[in-house]
Amino acid sequence: MCPSTSTTSSSTEGPVIVRIAGRVFPADVPRLCTELSTKLGDGTAAEAVCDVRELTGADLTTVDAVARLHLTARRLGCRLVLRGTPAELQALLHLVGLGALAQTG
């Protein structure tokens, strides 16, 4: 697992939490989605939280990761909420038409 990202679940009934710290690289994106899909696979979580408070250097790869995590959660009947979204990521999400994601948490 890349040290800049991790996926955990706070409890069996609580939200699934995806933490992204540091910089997101293109190779991280499919792995993050697979981890989220695995955590949401049993269908017990209604919400997934993407904690991006420790994110550094938001760029289009980060936007891609957030968008794909959002789609993964939706496909599995879950809502993705962003937590601690840095201003630069909020601006990029608005720029590419995904501003609603920036407003979800």
- The packing angle between helices 60-75 and 28-40, to 10°, is 20
Q: What is the pLDDT along the chain (105 residues), one digit of tens a residue?
A: 343 444 444 445 678 899 999 999 999 999 999 999 998 987 778 889 999 999 998 999 999 999 999 999 999 999 999 999 999 999 999 999 888 887 655
Among 52, 54, 41, 55, smallest CA distance to 9 is for 41
Among 38, 37, 39, smallest CA distance to 15 is for 39
Contact 17, 52 (CB under 8 A): no
pTM of the model: 0.83
Interatomic CA distance for residues 105 and 94, integer angstroms: 15
